[in-house]
Amino acid sequence: MEAQARVSGEPLVSILIPAYNERFFGEALASARAQTYASLEIVVCDDSSGEAIERASRDANDARVRYVRNPGRLGFHGNFTRCFEAARGELIKFLNDDDRLRPRCVEALVGGMQFDARVTLSMSRRAVIDEEGRVQPDIAPTVPLARFSCMVPGTELGDFVLINSVNVIGEPTTCLFRKRDLQPEGASLFAWGGFDYHVLADVSLWLRLLARGAAFYQAPVLSEFRMHGGQEQRGEAMDVASVVERLHLAREARAAGFLAHPALYQAALTRVRERAARILRKPETAAQHRATLESLDQEVAAELGALPAA
């Protein structure tokens, strides 16, 4: 399984599956293999302790599938980075091991990349599915951005995400980009400005790409984001981490050209304070988390006070 399908005139796309959870892996792999786009390799980096992911990869008997067993448990950041480093394609398409791609996903996203030389991130509407693969109603991040496919200036899209504090761009499964447009910082694909993102890892990735150019949004649903009980549960620690990461993101994004007007930066910082306040209002918030958020709130308040008046 060391070959890849190259088609003359078409850029090679690497579908990267950082695999760990065996339960839905077969569906994810099948959706990658069902793509209508011909110039394709599928890289599976197996971070599990079992044999099911390897068996499913080899049983596929597909020359486009390249299976890699990690030497030891790499974790979320390490496995995504390993996949990225193993990719041979000009274009990168991540696929979470519990999500699915619709058959024309890669073909349409490549079309978005080729629409204009300024496009650095190709994205689409995505659907929410449940454990059984049934499509669910939209949630706030999956509400359509536009009725028609279109190009969106990178800074405008990034500003929208930062100001509204919602990831309308999507999970790693949703987007496609050029490998050369993303240079990992140190050992982690999700590090930016010396800070390693976890809760907002995908957003940190998209902002770095949008700082270099525009996005192309495909209006049809091209991928499916699965919500299920086996996912990492959001608890108080993760909620606090998301607030801290949002502050780092706002500052780093501003240095990269986003939130250029003081009023935009003020709006983004205000969203950070609002999220912190919601957690602080809960009487059950742990003392160490309360101290972290109170300190952060004071820091942000001082930063807001130093901004020029609108």
pLDDT in tens, 89-138: 999 999 999 999 999 999 999 999 999 999 999 999 999 999 999 999 99
Percent of the chain at pLDDT above 70?
95
The yes-or-no verdict on residue 14 having pLDDT over 90 is yes
Distances (CA, A) of 90 to 100, 121, 180, 279: 22, 13, 7, 43
CA distance 6 to 257: 37
Record the tokens describing residue 1, joined without a space: 């399984």
If one counts every other C-beta atom within 10 angstroms of the C-beta of residue 110, the result is 20
- Residues 114 and 120: their CA atoms lie apart, in Å, by 10
Q: Which domains does the chain have, with CATH numbers?
A: 13-226 (3.90.550.10), 236-305 (no CATH)
Cβ neighbours of residue 232 closer than 8 Å, sequence gap 6 or more: 238
Average pLDDT, the chain: 93
Confidence of residue 233 (pLDDT cuts 50, 70, 90): low
In angstroms and rounded to an integer, the radius of gyration of the C-alpha atoms of the chain is 20
Does the pLDDT value for residue 82 go beyond 90? yes
Contact assessment for residue 125 and residue 135, using Cβ atoms and an 8 Å cutoff: no
Looking at the chain, the number of H-run helices and the number of E-run strands are 9, 12
Predicted pLDDT of residue 234: 66
Tell me the pLDDT band of 5, cut-offs 50, 70 and 90: low
Q: What is the pLDDT of residue 3?
A: 43
User: Which residues, listed in sequence order, are joined to residue 136 by a DSSP beta bridge?
Assistant: 128
Q: Are 159 and 264 in contact (CB under 8 A)?
A: yes
Whole-number Å distance between alpha carbons of 32 and 106: 9
Residue 72 has pLDDT above 50, yes or no: yes
Q: Rounded distance, CA 121 to CA 133, Å?
A: 27
pLDDT of the residue at 1:
41
pTM value is 0.93
d(CA 301, CA 295): 10
Q: CA 237, CA 247: separation in Å to the nearest integer? A: 16
Residue 39 to residues 13, 26, 150, 211, 242, Cα–Cα distance (Å): 6, 21, 24, 28, 37
Please give the helix or strand (H or E) that residue 150 lies within, else none.
strand 150-152
* Residue 281, φ and ψ in degrees, nearest 5: -70, -15
d(CA 307, CA 310): 9
Q: Is the pLDDT at 4 greater than 60, yes or no?
A: no
Chain centroid to CA 28: how far? 16
159 conformational bin, left if phi > 0, alpha if psi -120 to 50, beta if neither: alpha
The two tokens of residue 68 are: 């890699």
What pLDDT score does 232 carry? 59
Give yes or no for a contact between 130 and 225, defined as CB atoms under 8 angstroms apart: no
